[in-house]
Each structure stands twice: as C-alpha cells, then as structure tokens.
Chains A and B, each alone.
Chain A
Amino acid sequence: MNAAPSWILDLVALVGRLALNMAAALGRFGLFLAQAVVFMLTPPFKGRQLLSRIHFIGFNSLVIIVLTGAFTGMVLGLQVFITLSRFGSEAFLGPAVALSLIRELGPVLAALMVTGRAGSALTAEIGIMRITEQIDALTVMALNPYRYLVVPSIVAGLITFPLMTAIFDTVGIFGGYLVGVKLLGLSRGTYFGEMTTFVDLGDIATGVWKSLSFGVLVTWVCAYKGFYVGHGAEGVARATTQAVVLSSVLILVWDYFLGSVLQ
C-alpha cells in the first residue's frame, strides 16, 4: 500500500465518494417514484387532496396557458408564413402551425410554463412542510405523507398536463388562424382544410404521450426536491431552484428521446 503516494489514493477515494453519492441520489430518486406508484395503486385514495391539486396545477394555470398558447400560435403563423411565402407555398401554413404545435411546442411549452408556475410552488410547499416538521407530524398522526402529498400531485400531473396541452394547441391553432387568415390574407378554407389533410391521429397521440410523461416528470422532480429539502429557508430556496432547472432540462432531453422513438 505504501507504494502509491497518498494523494493518489485521496483522489481515487474522492472519485469513489462522488460516484457513490450520485448512485445513492439516483436510487433515492427512483425509489421515491416507485413508492409513490405503489401508494397510487392501493387504496385508500385521497380524493379531496387530488381535487385541490388539480385545481392548483390545472385551473390556476389556465390563464398563462391560454396566453402563451395564443402568442406561440401567432408567432408561428407570422414566421412560418414569411418563410413559406419565399417558396410560394403559403397554403401549407395550416399544417405547419398545427403539426409543430401538436407534436412539439404544445407539450413542451405547456410543461415549461407549468413547471415555472406550479412546480416551483409545489417544491416550496412540500419543502416548508418538511423543515417545519409538518411532514413528521403527518407521520406521527399515522397519515402517510406519500398518500397525502406526493401521490395527489403526481396523479394531478397525469390528469392536467394532457388537458392543458390540448388547450394550448387549440388556442395556438386559432392564434395562427388570427395572424395567417385575418391579418395576412390566407383563405380560411386553405388554413383549416390543409390542416385536416396533414394532421392525423398519430400526431395527436404523440402529443398526448409526451404531455403524460411530462406530467409525471415535473411533479416527480418537484415533489422529490421538496421532500428531501436541505436545512432552513436557504435549503428551500435551493431546492426550488434545482427543481425548476432539473424539470426544465429533463423536459427538453426527454422530449428529444420521445420524439425520436414516437415518429
């Protein structure tokens, strides 16, 4: 053992410690979801909690979803029209707007907006419950914190994300209609007719699968970060930042993988 200088061993030990920490964190992250799924599938279910989560994640995000959806559609209408008119194929504005919204932008942008609005608040709420020992209090009262806090959030994510994405897509398509037809003078029939020809059920299914997986991803990350928060106010602040950053990055990475699998 004495053959190797001690700083080399220190370095090796550091690498080992980092790897172990990372594996432990990943394992805890995975177990968190596994445990939540187990409690999700076994009664008793907390209906009232689920309702208030859907209200919080879904209903309260309606305004921001409609707003961002409308402007995304309008920007798409404008930019795609300008690009297509160079090739003299403005007729394809409808399908271009609809396909990019339904396949990519709707699920991703809706998920990013909801992460910013509801995901951060979810982490902060669960984190503060943790540092003020309310989660321990739940456990003492024999109330399972997973059932009470985590499962309703994840189920609410599963229910609300596809619905919000559909609202985003629909509003966006009409935003594109507003710019393409009312402002730039494309005919109404061309916009919707070509859209109907090119969009099929597979595209819509792709969007729904994406939004379902984002729903789980965002609520999973945000609830996990809140559940295993650090110490004090600073810990909550850090957890909230991490939750938003990690969710957003995972949404984009996962979107690419899912996009290449579901063609």
Chain B
Amino acid sequence: MGRSRVEVGVGLFVILGALALGYLSVKLGRVELLGRGGYTVSANFPSVGGLKSGSSVEIAGVEIGRVEKIRLVNDEAEVVLWINDSIKLPDDSIASIKTKGLIGEKYIRVSPGGSDKIIKPNGRIREVEAPVDIEELLSKYIFGKV
C-alpha cells in the first residue's frame, strides 16, 4: 500500500506540474499545439521601427494573425505575416503599422480593399503605410514645417 501511495503522489505531482507548464506556454507563450491553420503573406515597408516578430496583425481591431519574421531586402524591411486560414485578403488591402495607445507597442493593421481577387498564400500586400514617427511629427510642429 505504501508503495502505491508514493506512485499516486508522484503521478499527481507530475500531472499538476505538466498542466501548469502547459498552461504557461500555451496561454502565455502562445505555443500552438495543433498545427497552425494559416498561410503567410509578405509586405515591404520603408521602415518598421518598433515592430517585432510576434506582434499582432489585426483587421478592425480583431487579431487575424501574427508577424512571423522581419528581414532586410534591398534596403527595405520585408515583413512576413502569418494569417489565419479563415481570413481572405483582397489584393488591394492596405497594411499599415500602428501603435496601440500613445506609447503602446506596434502592430499591423490591415484595411481590406474591395477587389474581387484575393491574395494567394506566399503572396504580397502591395499597398503599405509606414508608421507615423511621432518625434518627427512633434519637431515639425514645433519648428513650423507641418
């Protein structure tokens, strides 16, 4: 009896620990367990200041994907976006880099266009809008060259 109590205790402990670890990494670390249903598209920005891989991609404030990676191609930033399978983007959609709140983190906002054609997996969003540089804007305002 003593032996089996040890086994039950260890089992309980391991299960609890694994559940806690799983909770942390799935809920907070965003590990996707059941293969991620989705496709990637890319977009070239003149500047991505502050955007990180893992930043969210949103339409109308609803998260539809994440930034997968950012790399430099021909002096431009190529951002690869992972988009949820259920979302189809018209090929005249506009991707813009926005800030959450005044000093919050950067995310990509996609404004879907009205075209009938949709962007295929591994395609490209051609219309982009660079982030607003608040510092530059302020200095322009102060020195009167708006």
Residues of chain A touching chain B, judged by Cβ–Cβ distance below 8 Å, are 51-52, 54-55, 58-60, 62, 98, 102, 159-160, 162-164, 166-167, 169-171, 195-197, 199-201, 203-204, 208
Q: Chain B residues near A166 (CB, 8 Å)?
A: 17, 20-21, 23-24
**Please, how many angstroms separate the alpha-carbon atoms of A52 and B105 in the complex?**
48
Decide if B16 touches A62 in the complex (CB within 8 Å).
yes
Contacts A199-B29, A200-B29, A201-B30 known; A160 to B13 CB distance under 8 Å?
A: yes
Contacts A166-B24, A204-B24, A204-B29 known; A197 to B17 CB distance under 8 Å?
A: no
Among A98, A162, A195, point to the contact of B17 (Cβ < 8 A): A162
Q: Chain B residues near A59 (CB, 8 Å)?
A: 9-10, 12-13
**Please, how many angstroms separate the alpha-carbon atoms of A203 and B30 in the complex?**
12
| Closest Cβ–Cβ distance, residue A107 to chain B (whole Å) | 12
Decide if B13 touches A196 in the complex (CB within 8 Å).
no
Q: Chain A residues near B25 (CB, 8 Å)?
A: 201, 204
Cβ proximity bits B109-120 to A, threshold 8 Å, 1 near / 0 not = 000000000000
Query: Which residue of chain B has its CB nearest to the CB of A168?
Result: B20
> Which secondary structure dominates where chain B touches chain A?
helix
Q: Chain B residues near A162 (CB, 8 Å)?
A: 17, 21
Among B9, B20, B29, point to the contact of A167 (Cβ < 8 A): B20
| Closest Cβ–Cβ distance, residue A43 to chain B (whole Å) | 21
Interface Cβ pair total, 8 Å cutoff: 75
Decide if B9 touches A197 in the complex (CB within 8 Å).
no
**Please, how many angstroms separate the alpha-carbon atoms of A169 and B7 in the complex?**
25
| Closest Cβ–Cβ distance, residue A181 to chain B (whole Å) | 16
Among A55, A102, A171, A203, point to the contact of B10 (Cβ < 8 A): A55
Q: Chain B residues near A164 (CB, 8 Å)?
A: 17
Contacts A62-B13, A163-B18 known; A55 to B24 CB distance under 8 Å?
A: no
Contacts A51-B7, A102-B24, A169-B24 known; A200 to B17 CB distance under 8 Å?
A: no
Among A55, A197, A201, point to the contact of B6 (Cβ < 8 A): A55
**Interface residue count for B (Cβ, 8 Å)?**
23
Q: Chain A residues near B27 (CB, 8 Å)?
A: 196
> Could you name 5 residue pairs across A and B whose Cβ atoms are closer than 8 Å?
A51-B6, A62-B13, A102-B24, A170-B23, A208-B21
- The 7 lowest CB-CB distance pairs between A and B, nearest first, are A163-B17, A166-B20, A201-B29, A166-B21, A59-B9, A170-B20, A199-B28
Listed residue (B7, B9, B12, B105) with the most chain A CB atoms within 10 angstroms of its CB: B9
Decide if B23 touches A200 in the complex (CB within 8 Å).
no
Known: A54-B13, A163-B14, A163-B18. 16 other contacts (CB 8 A): A51-B6, A51-B10, A52-B6, A54-B14, A55-B10, A58-B14, A62-B16, A160-B17, A163-B13, A163-B16, A163-B20, A196-B30, A197-B56, A200-B30, A203-B28, A203-B29
Q: Is B87 an interface residue (CB 8 A)?
A: no
Contacts A59-B10, A197-B105 known; A169 to B20 CB distance under 8 Å?
A: yes
